[in-house]
Structure 1
Amino acid sequence: MRRGGTWPGEWVSARLGVRVTGDGVDDLVGLAVRRNPRRAHLLVSGVLGKHVPTEPRLVYGAGLLLGEAVRLRLRGRDTGAEQYLPFLANALRGTRGAAGALRDRLREPKGGVDAVVLGYAETATALGHAVADALGDAYYLHSTRRRPGAGRDVYGGFEEEHSHATGHLLAPADRAAFDRDVPVVLVDDELSTGRTVLNTVRALHAARPRSRYVLAALVDMRSEADRMRLRDLAAELGARIDAVSLAAGRVELPVGLAESARRLVDELASGPPEVVPAGVFATERVDLGWPAGVPAGGRHGFVRDDRLRLEKELPEMARRVAAQLPPGAGRVLVLGTEELMYAPLRLAAALADLLPAADVRFSTTTRSPALAVDDPGYALRTRLVFPAHDDPADGPGERYAYNVDDSFDAIVLVTDAAGDTPELAAGLLPLLAGRAPVLLAVIPEEGA
């Protein structure tokens, strides 16, 4: 994850003394400063599509590669996924065609594995989808911070202690599909201390004991003490718990980091805020022709047949979007909204396939408050701030879109029916229209 040879973590390292070590880790992540007293630093992934607009086939390919590593581990193999690492390395360097090659070599499952895959909201919802896709026969669910709809029961929940928003809910529509003694794969973008995973495994095991769990993350930054806690939990529960990642390392944090970061944020936030013109460009709606009955994502469950039906319709959905793009749009951002990451990711990849001469990027909005610094050695260069627009369970609050600058010729904003609200029309939409022409694509509620 480098910009013209500059690692987008140098700014934080120089000012706060945060160090990232590990083979290949700095190719996958940069650094930013959180506005969060629980954890002052933020690892910003270059292959996740959350904070950094990224080539969508790289995002999906990296997720499929992680899923292949999980599949091999469940089949009793610790090796095999490394054969795809050169494609990942080339894609990270921006080699032409490498992202598509990575995705295409992994997009067909290598042999179905029955499992339950659980992705963490909001950051890893699409990553969890990709892991489930790689397993072929998995049932996928992601946690949510949105209020369950009428008639939806909550299966359970757990806490993410370091997060800005700590509570996670599980609300599978098909409890029987989720509540089985098959391997449970827990997917997050990073394993920092493993506390969230410990909380999740305990909560899941209390509701329905399982014999095997697999932790899957793009980067594993746990200490040996963290790993020991996980081994102790496995022994306590009488279950096997494995961990797989694309890279492993450590984050070295100086003493007093929280206070140093707070002072730095206060200092830099005291200047005049960035002024983003609102509503300069046109906003139009585009009808995706979303397939009836296919869920927008894994909030209440997503199965193999959902993926196959979605894949069949993606080329036509991309054509509908392309037909409404401004003439000559050479740089296009497909922007998802919070937990809704998988559908816009797959749409962005299909659009990139359809428009090979265009530079199509993918990212999503987020709850995570962080400092923006316009420096090539910092991961988050710009920040848009707007109100929540989907009635979250924990009430209203600020939301953010990072690195959405004025280099884009068009922005395709993808949300679902619950997010298509007056708050969206008055908040995020005019901010985006201050950057570029906007196409708004709304996925029907639960694919209806």
Structure 2
Amino acid sequence: MTGPHTIKVELPTGLMELSVDAGAFSVDELMGFAARANAKRGFLFLSKVLGKHWPVRPSLMRKIHMDLAGQVPADLAGPVVFIAMAETAIGLGQGVFEAYKSAHPVTEALFLHTSRYHVGGAEIIEFSEAHSHAPRQFLHMPQDAELRALLLSAKSLVLVDDEASTGNTFLNLSNACRALNPHIEHVHLATITNFMGKAANEALSQRFGVPVSIAASLSGEYVFTAGNLQPSSAAAQVFEAHADRGANGDFGRLGLNRALAAPHALAQKLAAGIKAGEQVLVLGTGEFMHLAYLLGSALEALGVDVLVQSTTRSPILKWGAVSQALSFADNYGEGVANYIYNVTLGQYDHVLVCHETPPNEALYSTAQAVGGRLFHFLSENHIEEISVR
């Protein structure tokens, strides 16, 4: 347990003052501070356990999944719908859902993740993440009748993100879901860090218009005094109403009511070629995160020294918790710059790049730059290694 304390950090973009409550995890265990190239918000609570901007052991990611799943109220009325926020918290939300399903196997539950791509011609619900570098997000209606019925009859909604600082995105998504399904009677917010503060937490139910609970691995309150904000000149999102950009509907966009299978056969094959003492990075791409985590977990179970991370479209300054920044083309083809943070070229003996989009020049160039191998996940059970030319 850690006691309450206050932290002040001078960022290139302003002053962060953070008051932290007592909790099971320390600030340093869970996060660092980073500065964003974003005129809307100049800071980032950079998670060390999310597997996005920082390489993480799968076992530590699983510990956080279980911690947050264990804090979901045990008496939530079912069906329960879990929704993870794109792109950063997709893997987190799916891990929390799977941990919850493991602990509550008889509870009807559905997992969905939001997306910035429209797949399969499915009906979409749009909402906004106002402070984001790429604010437009979509929630797809499940095409399967059973999964759609779960969404439309759900009594409880669990919204998962890596951090809560204002609650605005949660509110926007909750409103969209309740307009679709007026039967929702409770909303639970699950985050790694919740820095909205006591007063904001206590006002959530009134603000949302429905009983709301919130739980986090670390809580507190922040004040950010903006200084020299750094607007990014690069486009962050290109909206085309019917462009799926190669995004796959099988991994959570169109709904899942079960855990995805870990790729054990692939892990065993790969582990046979990894020598003792060699270090492996399993690299997800964009919104495709959870299968990279599952592959990393399977390798870790075989004794491999493995870390998991993902590429991201979020522009972060090289400062503080970001010591390295690599820029790559976007494998979804929007022409949006993608980044890998805190990875040095040549740092790992093996880099395994996991992707859902068909092979393209962006993937080839990324794999070549990091000395990696490409693995195309056509489904959870159909994975093809793509020759890096």
TM-score class normalised by the smaller sequence: 0.7 to 0.9
Please, which of 326, 347, 354 is the counterpart of residue 414 of structure 1? 354
Alignment check: 8 A CA contact 1:296 1:343 kept = no
How many residues align? The count is 346
Pair 1:440–1:12, CA change in 2 (3 A): farther
2:18 counterpart residue number: 20
Cα distance between partner residues in 2 of 1:140 and 1:317? 25
* Identity percentage of aligned residues: 30
Cα distance between partner residues in 2 of 1:185 and 1:72? 12
2:193 counterpart residue number: 219
Structure 1 residues 143-154: aligned runs within 5 Å: 143-149=114-120, 152-154=121-123
In proportion to residue count, which structure has more helix? 1
Q: Deviations over 1:319-355 (max 9, x none)?
A: 1222344x45521111101111111101101101102
Alignment check: 8 A CA contact 1:335 1:412 kept = yes
Alignment check: 8 A CA contact 2:119 2:249 kept = no
Alignment check: 8 A CA contact 1:25 1:219 kept = no
Cα distance between partner residues in 2 of 1:27 and 1:50? 15
Offset at 1:359?
2.5
TM-score of the superposition, structure 1-length normalised?
A: 0.71
Pair 1:133–1:445, CA change in 2 (3 A): closer
Cα distance between partner residues in 1 of 2:350 and 2:342? 14
Structure 1 residues 34-73: aligned runs within 5 Å: 34-72=36-74
Please, which of 354, 371, 385 is the counterpart of residue 327 of structure 2? 385
1:303 counterpart residue number: 257
Pair 1:14–1:262, CA change in 2 (3 A): closer
1:336 counterpart residue number: 284
Offset at 1:447?
5.8
Q: Deviations over 1:63-105 (max 9, x none)?
A: 1210111143638xxxxxxxxxxxxxxxxxxxxxxxxxxxxxx
Aligned to 1:412, the other structure's residue is in SS state strand
In proportion to residue count, which structure has more strand? 2
Cα distance between partner residues in 2 of 1:295 and 1:319? 27
* Runs (5+) with no aligned partner, structure 1: 1-8, 76-112, 267-293
Structure 1 residues 203-214: aligned runs within 5 Å: 203-209=176-182, 210-214=184-188
Pair 1:414–1:44, CA change in 2 (3 A): same
1:158 counterpart residue number: 127
Offset at 1:233?
2.7
TM-score of the superposition, structure 2-length normalised?
A: 0.82
Q: Deviations over 1:345-368 (max 9, x none)?
A: 01101101102xx42111111110
Q: Deviations over 1:104-148 (max 9, x none)?
A: xxxxxxxxx641100001111111112211221421000011232
Offset at 1:295?
7.2
Q: Which amino acid in 1 is paired with 2:67? A: L
1:365 and 2:348 correspond: no
Runs of 4+ aligned residues of structure 1 deviating over 4 Å after TM superposition are: 9-15, 445-448
Cα distance between partner residues in 1 of 2:214 and 2:296? 30
Q: Deviations over 1:373-406 (max 9, x none)?
A: 3xxxx21111111121124xxx321111111213
Alignment check: 8 A CA contact 1:71 1:135 kept = no
Alignment check: 8 A CA contact 2:9 2:17 kept = no
Offset at 1:10?
8.1
Pair 1:346–1:52, CA change in 2 (3 A): same
Please, which of 316, 321, 345 is the counterpart of residue 293 of structure 2? 345
Cα distance between partner residues in 2 of 1:161 and 1:14? 22
Pair 1:186–1:15, CA change in 2 (3 A): closer
Aligned to 1:63, the other structure's residue is in SS state helix
Please, which of 165, 171, 176 is the counterpart of residue 198 of structure 1? 171
Aligned to 2:173, the other structure's residue is in SS state helix
1:177 and 2:177 correspond: no
